[in-house]
Amino acid sequence: MKRSVFLQFPFVASALLAKARKPLTNRVDKGFKVRAGKDRYQEELLIMGGRFDCKVSGKDTDGDLLIYDTLRQEKGGPAFHLHHNQDEWFYIMKGEFIVKVGDDLLHLKPGDSAFAPRKVPHAFAMISEGEGQMLILFQPAGSMEDYFLQVSKLGSSIHGQAHGAGDLMKMHGMEVVGPPLKF
């Protein structure tokens, strides 16, 4: 084998292995528009005191990415929890929120964002009066879409999520590690 071919082998092999690990089978092959106030699939998910509209589905990205636009009517948020396999990013569009990531408590206003790496406990709570709006991004998508669909069946209020939500979280790769944030 020629030396130049031998030296190229690791690069070619790693590219082939990367492609073999995750075949692109269901990825959307063209752009799309999701109207303001609408869900990608015209579903209405009322969860934790707000509405969750899917803007980019894991189905669109072969599981690489999931984005929800959340409109919140109630103060508060989910229990302190972690995702075993997803990073989560929060971007505030309206209202004020607190986000706890690990031991850090962050106060977020419109235009601010926070990042919660996978395996690091985190929670958020809307703390302002009126309507709040936050984009939430999960990378990779995992089974988060199914989780939100299932948890929406438990009731729309934050307090209605207490019964049964913990088991559902475990089924979708999450773990509750503490109570919701107090403010």
Q: Indicate whether 32 pLDDT > 50.
A: yes
Say how many residues make up the chain. 183
Task: Please indicate whether residue 123 or residue 15 has the higher confidence score (pLDDT).
Answer: 123
Span 36-178 CATH architecture: Sandwich (2.60)
Confidence at 48, pLDDT banded by 50, 70, 90: confident
Mean pLDDT lowest for which of 6-20, 46-60, 144-158? 6-20
User: How much is the average pLDDT of 112-141?
Assistant: 97
What's the mean per-residue pLDDT of the chain?
A: 87
Whole-structure pTM value: 0.82
pLDDT category, 6, cuts 50, 70, 90? very low
